């Protein structure tokens, strides 16, 4: 049986990091549709993230992307975030948008470009020092488009060399999250295409190196919850980039395309007891809201993760264990499906009320006047960073 007080306590403690770029304009390579009131700079992105946290009580940090969120004084930015009631989450290193990176960043055949890329990563660690951020998130667009274009083996050597240098620069509780992605922008091969490659590099480097699972970065049909189970068991699951996809890396709202998959993922997390922030696993969103209103979409996404987590927390683990031990295949599946079928919205409303929050964060946002205020005050909002 589940303990209702413990379930409510765990839900109240849950932390979901929101990404600065989700607050800015974004689009596809065909068109970026601008929206009224979007942030003009990193300060305003943080202000919006703080609104999401105030309404949900579950989004206490905001991740930055460097150089999209370039400012002169990062300590000032972190101070401002704290005043707004949020902390700085992961620092996302961006080594993919300069012309120099056409053939790759840390795996580029040209040592000058590799040096430039590693220096950019080291500069991100400086930002971590200034902001108190714990996590450096590394995602490389590196790869090739055509067979024969470059040596895949040599590129792994260059990757190792770069990662070693960055790893050696980490101090205190800092760690890095190595994100993988099957394809895009490279279409023949990616240098870090899957969790196995990421995990192998992390193992070689040491305990501060962990894997980041972006839920949109797999081939269709991939059993992501297996990856979760494996990495948690190995102590190398560092973070999620949550989003959902129908086709490729769609970056739609988490839980929108396949809420059952999100539940299965959170079920592995809860079964392993690593759902609260002390687990060291960062539950981050990595999404773009191209056509929908951004702040409400981010609130909705936080709620979707909360709902999947609540269902997983309500799963009757004793009954599941008994069914498993008895070899009762259908019984075990029924226990899991019963949890998934539970309407947890009343429970989450109660948890919010116990935290002194409005039980309905979306309606509360619409009533708050924030949207009208930003639309009046902010003219010429910034783009999230790509598609320009």
**Which residues contact ligand LRH (rule: CB under 6 A)?**
21, 92, 139, 179, 181, 214, 241, 249, 286
Residue from 69, 67, 50, 61 nearest 90 by CA: 61
Contact pick of 10, 17, 150, 214 for Mn ion (by CB under 5 A): 214
92 is in the binding site of which of ligand LRH, Mn ion, none (Cβ under 5 to 8 A by kind)? Answer: ligand LRH
Q: Decide whether 191 or 249 has the Cβ nearer to Mn ion.
A: 249
Write out the binding residues for Mn ion, residues 273-292 only, by CB under 5 A.
286
Buried b (16+ CB within 10 A) or exposed e, 325-336: eeeeeeebeebb
268 is in the binding site of which of ligand LRH, Mn ion, none (Cβ under 5 to 8 A by kind)? Answer: none
Min. distance of Cβ 65 from ligand LRH in angstroms? Answer: 6
Give the CB-nearest residue to ligand LRH. Answer: 139
Min. distance of Cβ 207 from ligand LRH in angstroms? Answer: 22
Beta bridge partners of 19: 63
Indicate whether 241 belongs to the interface with Mn ion (CB under 5 A): yes
Cis peptide before 67 (omega within 30 of 0): yes
Contact pick of 135, 150, 249, 358 for Mn ion (by CB under 5 A): 249
Which residues, at least 6 apart from 228, have a Cβ–Cβ distance to it below 8 Å?
Answer: 213, 237, 265, 268, 269
Min. distance of Cβ 330 from ligand LRH in angstroms? Answer: 38
Min. distance of Cβ 55 from ligand LRH in angstroms? Answer: 24
x/- track of binding to Mn ion for residues 51-90 (CB under 5 A): ----------------------------------------
Residue from 105, 191, 187, 172 nearest 133 by CA: 172
Would you give the distance in Å from CA 61 to the centre of its chain? Answer: 11
How crowded is the C-beta side of 224, counted as CA atoms within 13 Å? 28
Q: Decide whether 340 or 386 has the Cβ nearer to ligand LRH.
A: 386
**What does the block give as tokens for 303?**
């709620």
> Packing angle between helix 329-341 and helix 259-271, nearest 10 degrees?
110
- Residues forming contacts to Mn ion in the complex (CB under 5 A) are 214, 241, 249, 286
């Amino acid at each position: 049986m589940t303990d209702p007080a413990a379930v409510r306590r765990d839900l109240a403690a849950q932390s979901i990091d929101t990404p600065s770029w989700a607050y800015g304009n974004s689009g596809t390579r065909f068109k970026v549709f601008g929206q009224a009131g979007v942030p003009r700079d990193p300060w305003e992105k943080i202000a919006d993230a703080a609104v999401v946290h105030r309404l949900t009580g579950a989004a206490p940090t905001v991740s930055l992307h460097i150089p999209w969120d370039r400012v002169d004084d990062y300590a000032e930015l972190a101070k401002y975030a704290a005043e707004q009631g949020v902390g700085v989450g992961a620092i996302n290193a961006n080594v993919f948008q300069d012309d120099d990176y056409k053939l790759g960043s840390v795996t580029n055949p040209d040592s000058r470009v590799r040096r430039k890329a590693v220096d950019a990563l080291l500069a991100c660690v400086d930002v971590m020092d200034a902001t108190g951020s714990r996590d450096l998130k590394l995602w490389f667009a590196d790869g090739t488009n055509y067979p024969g274009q470059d040596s895949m083996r040599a590129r792994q050597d260059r990757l190792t060399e770069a990662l070693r240098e960055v790893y050696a620069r980490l101090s205190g509780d800092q760690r890095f999250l190595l994100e993988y992605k099957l394809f895009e922008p490279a279409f023949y091969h990616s240098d870090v295409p899957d969790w196995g490659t990421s995990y192998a590099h992390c193992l070689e480097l040491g305990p501060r190196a962990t894997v980041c699972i972006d839920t949109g970065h797999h081939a269709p049909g991939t059993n992501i919850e297996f990856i979760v189970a494996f990495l948690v068991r190995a102590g190398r699951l560092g973070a999620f980039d949550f989003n959902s996809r129908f086709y490729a890396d769609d970056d739609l709202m988490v839980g929108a395309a396949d809420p059952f998959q999100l539940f299965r993922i959170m079920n592995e997390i809860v079964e392993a007891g690593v759902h609260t922030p002390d687990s060291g696993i960062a539950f981050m969103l990595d999404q773009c809201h191209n056509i929908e209103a951004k702040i409400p979409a981010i609130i909705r996404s936080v709620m979707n993760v909360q709902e999947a987590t609540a269902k997983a927390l309500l799963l009757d683990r004793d009954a599941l264990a008994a069914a498993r031990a008895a070899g009762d295949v259908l019984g075990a599946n029924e226990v899991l499906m019963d949890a998934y079928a539970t309407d947890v919205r009343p429970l989450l409303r109660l948890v919010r009320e116990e935290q002194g929050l409005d039980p309905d964060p979306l309606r509360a946002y619409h009533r708050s006047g924030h949207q009208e205020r930003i639309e009046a005050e902010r003219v010429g909002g910034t783009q999230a960073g790509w598609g320009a």
